[in-house]
Structure 1
Amino acid sequence: MAATDPAFRSVPRRAPCFLVWRVESMVLAPVPREQHGRFHRGDAYVVLSCSERGAAPGAGRGPLETHVHFWLGSGASVDEAGVAAYKTVELDELLGGAAVQHRELEGTESSRFRSYFPAGLRHLDGGTASGLTHVSDAFAPVLYAVKGRRNPLIRQLPAVAWEHLNDGDVFVVDARDVIFVWTGRTANKMEKIQGARLAQALKSEHGGADVIIVESGREEELPRQVKSEATVDADERHERRRAEDIKLYRCSDQDGTLKVVEVKSGPLMQADLDSGDSFIIDNGPQGIWVWVGKRASAKERAEAMRNAQGFIKKKGYPISTPVTRVIDGGEPTDFKTLFKSWRDKHAPVGLGKMAALGKIAPTIQTSFDASTLHENRALAAQTQMVDNGGGQKEVWSVVQPR
């Protein structure tokens, strides 16, 4: 059995956790909690989330749902990307092989991945190979774009210039001593909230700064050339691309070579899946899912992610197409929603016992005599019930002793 990577020694067994590692010099290095959500374009990362279904990342007391993501920046090297992918498989095996695996690419992260970082997912320039750890007192202003409807994404832009602004989003200029939050005329509510959060986070990182909110069209003495919101993708199109009809493919290596055969087009049913094989659910550029059956071969299980990436290349989909691997019996909710019907094993059928209007048992009215409560003297004394006034009364007076 291969030795456990020292980076994974901090991973608890069967307990909630949320951990992030970055590939540095071809090995994994832990990312401090205060830096979670900051991803450099020149690097590759591995993210582990173990939590109760529906709970915050790393929280919960019930059955755990485990997700392992490897994130690749646009400037990450092929070797760094390979290390992140390999370590994702290694971490999955360490956790028992039932984790859901995700490939995340800069700018096309899944909604689940973005939800891990309430303060915002930030794309930053540079990386470990470009001397990221070098500390300098020099500071150059930075421009961030905040875009998205549910979980807005924060991107660092090439330069602070009007040409990068548009009226449909929110932009933040970090000048260290002063932080400007510029809101476009048609920016949505979540973008405005995330922009304010980013400004406060930058203020804390700098140890204090003035935050100034500027609305589009209300700048003073600033020459402006802001793009119209019509020149960029609407938020709905940005998050929901029109996909082809969903399709199901069967993957099999019975004769030693992998074969991918189309099974059917949507709608998909849970019964279409067979635990003896692995399947690819093709949802177009919106995402490729690989489902691995419990009785699938070890080769199918180990090469599921690689096969999915080969499938993307063959279909001519963008390289940024999301890829997720799930295991039979450990399907997340967003996978189940791809099927017209899905029922978990041991799940209750219907709503269970219910009280229907008009079928509630009638209430029987009976007469009650409160005086009968005094018949049990011991109980009356124990509960300090009020005396009924019957019986003999004796009164003593206290006089001065002789």
Structure 2
Amino acid sequence: MSSLALSSDPVALTAALVDVPSPSHHESRIADAIEQALRELEGVEVKRVSNTVVARTQRDLGSRVILAGHVDTVPIADNVPHHMEGDMLYGCGSVDMKSGLAVYLHTFARLANSPDLKRDLTLICYEGEEVSSEYNGLGILEREAPEWLVGDLALLGEPSGGVIEAGCQGTIRVKVTGHGVRAHSARAWLGDNAAHRLAEVLTRVASYEPRTVTVEGCEYREGLNVVGLKAGVATNTLPDEAEMLVNFRFAPDRTLDEALEHLYGVLAVDGEHVTVEVDDAVGGARPGLDKPAAQALLDAVGGNFRAKFGWTDVSRFSTLAIPAVNYGPGDPGLAHKPEEHCPVDQITQVADVLYRFCTSPVK
């Protein structure tokens, strides 16, 4: 394909990115295109790690901002190439997150050699965000080239409706297993129904009253929910094993260990007839809006911000002591939908704000 026109209109760049299919594990083509375009910029250091492409300026400007966006999408649902309907751009990844990626690429290319740039920039276009964390390009970069993960503030181009969404919730998923004895349902007294062993735990989860808590000016709502149930071997048989998946979304004022301890207390399993096993667990990220670089970004967007519901890769930056926010165009509620679409005015708005932020004096 021809080289991406990074300095062109970010709406056109979004459309060009959408038209390059890049479902998870198939990012090589879009990584090739991004790498080629970035290597055409003068005075910019570019590196590729698998299908993650990174670039940075080295102008000793006294502050560094990381612009990060993932290049992969969920599987295509007959929604590539893009199409326009009025002021809406439709297509796979138009929200999650090729519009955000386009804005970040555009901003980097526009300012990389501009005398107006007031903060050095690191651009990270990474693979494998939509799949298991072992494939996440940020995690791979942290292991193989950690020197690229240095900065005073990180922006993640996840869809946020053009509003800063600060921090993120942590998430724990556990598998709760009921253990019993299989028997014919006509002779139930000879067995022990494993599904019934889960009843008390399910009731505790259903009656749980989650917190709403304010952390550094952001209001987070926690949640504890059963998200999966599995039991039964035949319609006339008592199951000897039953499984329940429970998901705990917790505010970033809890550490991961504190959240796990709290969850175990709520589930209160006996360890004999019912056991619990952690299936996945990651900590959240505090907003970090009190940092100078974050304050400058807030000024650029007019001071509007809110909490991020859900987990994003800002947590990875938080563990590196880099304050991070989610900031990108598009309604996150449309992510992964076949009718995924993004208002073009939000793409332009986010691009304008980023330019204003990156060219504002460092205080």
Report the TM-score when normalising by structure 2. 0.23
More helix by share: 2
Q: Whose relative contact order is higher, 1 or 2, with alpha carbons under 8 Å and at least 6 apart?
A: 2
Report the TM-score when normalising by structure 1. 0.21
